[in-house]
Amino acid sequence: MKESLRQQFHRLELRLGELDATLSDPAVAGDMKRYRGLSREHAQVQGVVATFRSYEQRERDLASAQELLDDDEMAAMAGEEVAAAQEDLNRLHAELQAALLPRDPDDARNAFVEVRAGTGGDESALFAADLVRMYVRFAERLGWRVEVMSESLSDLGGYRECVLRVEGDEVYAQLKFESGGHRVQRVPTTETQGRIHTSACTVAVMAEPDEADEVTLNPSELRIDTFRASGAGGQHVNKTDSAIRITHLPTGIVAECQDDRSQHRNKAKAMAVLTARIKEKDRSERAAKEAATRKGLIGSGDRSDRIRTYNFPQGRMTDHRINLTLYRLQAVLDGDLDEVIGALKAARAAQQLAALESGA
């Protein structure tokens, strides 16, 4: 193990002692929010320190076994212990490296997935519907719950825009690398001469804020408009101004919802999406500053990045950030994203580890 990493684990041992002392303070126990935060940190640090102490013990075991290799009577048994200790050390070292990688505090959160048609007209809107279906299928495979927050349909049945709320375990951790530009190459159903067209959509994945951490919005900075819902819905939509559009005046960010008959519920949904969009804007600006100082493998997640191409004639999907190409396009569009997301996570972890070891 590199000395720089070893020093970080020794610092964690000191931090564990500090946390033990702090949590035993009655004044801290009286502040439940602070106590819960410190308790979560304590559990995390305690686990890492326990693993590090196991690593150090196996180092001592290895050294002792190596000393016995020159003893004819003990050599065979010592050789077995050397092999076992080395195997344990490799495993524990990998666990310790993973434990030190910076964890995105939003990883455990639910997420909003926003899909918007881009260049390509009706074909882009149809492709947006394909992407929405892909994410819904992926969520179903993982047992997540999906709710449509807002949608704007195109004339041919695609989506100009669709916002999903996805609820489950580690949703943001799994979906956050989907943010960016998605390009499709195929022969549109509207194409009479069989020519391949290129269209594009953008996807934005936004962590749903906790109520306690939610962005505080000043009511005077919000413009709330009501309007008559459009689209399917029978006579009701023609009589009731239940749709809501909320504009955050300082940023110009807008969210609207017209899917519920209740104006109150539409307002709550629109406010939730607006809050997530504002928080995502802040996160993107921070990521852009970080990317300016150290260019990332995965990119900043900015929607202007072209991250992926879906080529129907060749049956392939290519993720340009990590040069991953899979020749099973239909399976991917049916929600089988495990290999893609796993590769993106692995690339990100390797990048973080390289930065950690270099002291960046």
CB atoms within 10 A of CB 70: 9
Query: What's the rounded mean pLDDT across residues 32-42?
Result: 85
3-100 and 111-350 agree in CATH topology: no
Nearest CA-CA partner of 304 in 203, 180, 199: 180
pLDDT at 212 over 60: no
Query: What's the rounded mean pLDDT across residues 222-243?
Result: 64
Interval 256-297: pLDDT, tens? 887 767 778 888 888 888 888 887 777 777 666 655 544 444
Domain assignments of the chain as residue spans, ordered by start: 3-100, 111-350
Query: What's the rounded mean pLDDT across residues 325-351?
Result: 93
Query: What's the rounded mean pLDDT across residues 50-76?
Result: 90
Looking at the chain, the whole-number percentage of residues with pLDDT higher than 90 is 39
Mean pLDDT (the chain) is 84
Strands 180-186 and 222-227: unpaired
Nearest CA-CA partner of 129 in 154, 112, 149, 146: 154
Interval 132-183: pLDDT, tens? 999 999 999 999 999 998 888 888 889 999 999 999 988 999 999 999 999 9
Split at pLDDT 50, 70, 90, the class of 237 is very low
- Distance of alpha carbon 99 from alpha carbon 46, whole angstroms: 11
> What are the DSSP calls for 138-185, one per residue?
HHHHTT-EEEEEEEEE-TTS-EEEEEEEEESTTHHHHHGGG-EEEEEE
pLDDT at 222 over 60: yes
Interval 65-107: pLDDT, tens? 998 888 888 888 989 999 999 999 999 998 888 787 777 778 8
Contact of 278 with 248, CB cutoff 8 Å: yes
3-100 in CATH: which number? 1.20.58.410
Torsion of CA 135, 141, 144, 145, to 10 degrees: 70
> What are the DSSP calls for 221-242, one per residue?
GEEEEEE---SSSTTHHHH---
Looking at the chain, the whole-number percentage of residues with pLDDT higher than 70 is 86
- Distance of alpha carbon 15 from alpha carbon 46, whole angstroms: 9
Architecture of the CATH domain 111-350: 2-Layer Sandwich (3.30)
